[in-house]
Amino acid sequence: MKNKQVKIIIILGLLTGLVSGCYYDNVEFLYPNQNSCDTTNVTYNGKIAPLLQTNCNGCHSQSSASGNVVLEGYSNVKAQVTNGKLYGSISYAQGVSPMPKNGTKLSDCDISNVKRWIDAGAPEN
């Protein structure tokens, strides 16, 4: 009798482990970006330039520079960092046009990665 109880407890323990294990996997599978912000490789070439390419360069390329703002090429981007408008625009700061214009605000993760890069001195890396 005692042996049986011990077995049941062990089986229950294993089941609980299994169920919570699967539950965790499901959450990560269903919401892959929830709480997880990839902050590795926050470099100009690794993250910032591709992010601008995807979200901004349609309107801010060398050939089509809306508002005379070019976000292609490091020195052009750096100029918008120095005048405070790059971060101001994506963080919807007062006094700066919110960007992407007429689009969805960038994710918190993207915005914080841009800030991280700027705080590091906006290096050309």
The residues that touch ligand HEC, with contacts defined as CB under 6 A, are: 55-56, 58-60, 66-67, 69, 71, 80, 85-86, 89-90, 96-97, 99-103, 106
Cβ-contact 109, 33 below 8 angstroms: yes
Shortest spacing between CB 80 and ligand HEC, in angstroms: 5
Shortest spacing between CB 55 and ligand HEC, in angstroms: 4
**Angstrom distance (rounded) from CA 116 to CA 108:** 12
Work out whether the CA dihedral 118, 81, 51, 47 comes out positive or negative.
Answer: negative
Shortest spacing between CB 117 and ligand HEC, in angstroms: 13
Query: Closer CB to ligand HEC, residue 13 or residue 103?
Result: 103
Query: Closer CB to ligand HEC, residue 47 or residue 85?
Result: 85
Cβ-contact 23, 15 below 8 angstroms: no
**Angstrom distance (rounded) from CA 44 to CA 78:** 10
